[in-house]
Amino acid sequence: MRRRFQHLDVFADTPLLGNPLAVVIDAEGMTTEQMQHLTRWTNLSETAFLLPARSPDADYRVRIFTLVGELPFAGHPTLGSCHAWLTSGGTPRDPARIVQECGTGLVPIRKRGDLLAFAAPPLIRGGEVDEVFVEEIAAILGLGREAVVDAQWVDNGPGWVAVLLEDADAVLAVDADLSRFDGDRPLDIGLVGLYPAGSECDIEVRALFRDGPSTMREDPVTGSLNASLAQWLLGSGRLTAPYLASQGTRLGRAGRPRIDQDEDGTIWVGGRSFTCVEGHLEL
């Protein structure tokens, strides 16, 4: 069966400098096993599958898969899926507000020019990180404990623990080594450091996560992490909105997530998406 397909770049101002995403436009009728099999074949961090909405309040539904399983929500697949849905003929009931249905429920997405932004989901775990764990994370990062300015749980699903370093340069200098860690638990570390006032971007972000028993992988640009970091950094007064984040620098990317906040406190994570490849899959 022929199914429409897009290969996109998300969260960059220039194509091929963000985070790639595969989207199957016409996924109705595909089984979970077929979706997982295709995701492994694309070999990208995530592949998204567009389906008709089940909720009467949603414009479309998406299922998001990684190489190892399905995610209830993820940031760059949310913006990329919305872009693919719109450019393939989707028409929202409200042109300024698209509603996506996914594993976590309904996610509002707003459109302003060529920027799409999703509302940051609530944290499922926040607060201080146990000091022993902070020391373990510092060791993995190759840092002394004194280099960690602050650490917080900022988990909105994937399991993020945020680590604030002295500045953006310190974030870029980190070389993580999971062999320094004895535990076997999941590990998702978000590094953040501020740039000097007047810089192009306000913060540098890196997303490091466990990829196998002894290796760590870095994600180019991470919507979920930028969403939860914004809740922490804005809530603690370290930043004010709007602000611009940089991510992917160590990987040769130029991710540019944009963070904004409404008067009611709603935080929006936005960026540009580009369709780089468009065609059909023969399945």
pLDDT per residue rounded down to tens, the chain (283 residues): 899 999 999 999 999 999 999 999 999 999 999 999 999 999 999 999 999 999 999 999 999 999 989 998 999 999 999 999 999 999 999 988 999 999 989 999 999 999 999 999 999 999 999 999 999 999 999 999 999 999 999 998 888 999 999 999 999 999 998 777 766 666 899 999 999 999 999 999 999 987 666 677 899 999 999 999 999 999 999 999 999 999 999 999 999 999 999 999 999 999 999 999 999 999 8
Looking at domain 125-264, its CATH architecture is Roll (3.10)
- The residues, ordered by sequence, that sit 6+ positions from 78 with a Cβ below 8 Å of its Cβ are 62, 100, 102, 107, 109, 118, 223
Compute the distance between CA of residue 145 and CA of residue 148 in angstroms, rounded to an integer. Answer: 6
CA atoms within 13 Å, Cβ hemisphere of 249: 19
Catalytic (active-site) positions:
46
Q: What is the pLDDT of residue 78?
A: 97
Pair 80, 278: CB distance under 8 Å: no
Q: What is the pLDDT of residue 248?
A: 98
* Domain 2-120+270-282 homologous superfamily, CATH: Diaminopimelate Epimerase; Chain A, domain 1 (3.10.310.10)
CA atoms within 13 Å, Cβ hemisphere of 236: 15
> In 10 A of CB 32, how many CB atoms?
12
Q: What is the pLDDT of residue 210?
A: 78
pTM over 0.85? The answer is yes
Q: What is the pLDDT of residue 89?
A: 97
Question: What amino acid occupies position 84?
Answer: A
Q: What is the pLDDT of residue 27?
A: 97
> In 10 A of CB 207, how many CB atoms?
25
Q: What is the pLDDT of residue 97?
A: 93
Same topology between domain 2-120+270-282 and domain 125-264: yes
As given in the structure block, the two tokens for residue 108 are 């509002």
- The residue ranges of every structural domain in the chain are 2-120+270-282, 125-264
As given in the structure block, the two tokens for residue 161 are 């623990």
CA atoms within 13 Å, Cβ hemisphere of 48: 32
